[in-house]
Amino acid sequence: MIVALGNGVSLRVNTGFGSSNCLFIEGERPVLVETGGGKALADIEPESVALIVNTHRHIDHVKGNGRFPRATVCAHAREKGVMDDVALSVASSGWDRFMDGCYEDYLADLPVQPQGLHDCRPVHETLSDGDVIDCGHTRMEVLHTPGHTSGHCSLFLPEEEILFSGDICLTAVGPCYADPDADIDDFLTSLDRLIAIKPKTLVTSHSRKVYNGSSVSVLSEFKSRIFQREERVLAALQDHPMTIHALAKMKIIYAHHPSIFVLFWEKCMLEKHLMRLKRAGYAMVSDEGLWSAV
């Protein structure tokens, strides 16, 4: 589905698992934000795209980069290392600490093709906060909004007052901060920054919706979920001490664990909440790995 946002800017909607929405800015210098749009990008002449901007390294956002051979690929410097190399999946990071067996044994559960998972996707130029991207008839500002990953960026078109917030995704299952370099406090700071912009139009990499005039309320609600999760973690620890594995079975982050990867991501995010509670003096952990409320 293609949603025209005005002035040659369109949202290419693909909310399928393992895919992402993309933002396309037509004109004399066509710019594509994300490439995981699949059929939603079918009308774009591959040779025509001058610039690809990836909000971050995850495969659902970068998997189509190779379809646009003349495009210069840009991402934040903190994403470049992983994109230039292999093992793009969040599932490849930190698995051994929480899970039995090898994550490769479960690749059939991943919503992406294993052969695509390990493709290299070179980054030609790195982005920094405050960079302004020339899109020909309009421009796009780079906002470094870490939290989901350390190099995650959002893109803002000031003339059109359109914000593309990437994996600050505004879906029912978010926010996600499972990667080793994800950080809850960074995520909160990034949300505050986007709320302060008060963009007229807000779109993301995964929500089907175009938020017109409601960006402050939807971003604020999204932010409140982080605190609600942390309150549920603390309430569980006040019942009785438990390991992170027992806590994960309570499904505090995700209501369902349809694949082993969701259980893994639940544990990764629970750990970030537990460490945050520990730093604040609300939780402690024994030598045996039992967490309890202070």
Contact set with Zn ion (CB under 5 A): 58, 167
C-beta closer to Zn ion: residue 147 or 199: 147
The residue type found at 214 is S
Minimum distance, C-beta of residue 234 to Zn ion, in the bound complex (Å) = 27
Distance separating alpha carbons of residues 217 and 226, to the nearest angstrom: 15
C-beta closer to Zn ion: residue 58 or 78: 58
Minimum distance, C-beta of residue 17 to Zn ion, in the bound complex (Å) = 13
Minimum distance, C-beta of residue 166 to Zn ion, in the bound complex (Å) = 7
The 3-class secondary structure across the chain, one letter per residue, is CEEEEECCEEEECCCCCCCCCEEEECCCCCEEECCCCHHHHCCCCHHHCCEEECCCCCHHHHCCHHHCCCCEEEEEHHHHHHHHCCCCCHHHCCHHHHCCCCHHHHHHHCCCCHHHHCCCCCCCEEECCCCEEECCCCEEEEEECCCCCCCCEEEEECCCCEEECCCCCCCCCCCCCCCCCCCHHHHHHHHHHHHHHCCCEEECCCCCCCEECCHHHHHHHHHHHHHHHHHHHHHHHHHCCECHHHHHHCCCCCCCCCCHHHHHHHHHHHHHHHHHHHHCCCEEECCCCCEEEC
Minimum distance, C-beta of residue 99 to Zn ion, in the bound complex (Å) = 20
The residue type found at 47 is E
C-beta closer to Zn ion: residue 58 or 229: 58
C-beta closer to Zn ion: residue 103 or 291: 103
Distance separating alpha carbons of residues 89 and 112, to the nearest angstrom: 10
Minimum distance, C-beta of residue 27 to Zn ion, in the bound complex (Å) = 28
Residue nearest Zn ion (C-beta atom): 58
C-beta closer to Zn ion: residue 175 or 199: 175
C-beta closer to Zn ion: residue 58 or 144: 58
Minimum distance, C-beta of residue 130 to Zn ion, in the bound complex (Å) = 22
Minimum distance, C-beta of residue 48 to Zn ion, in the bound complex (Å) = 27
C-beta closer to Zn ion: residue 82 or 135: 82
Distances from the Cα of 133 to the Cα of 8, 53, 110, 180, 289, angstroms: 16, 10, 34, 29, 48
C-beta closer to Zn ion: residue 166 or 199: 166
Minimum distance, C-beta of residue 148 to Zn ion, in the bound complex (Å) = 6
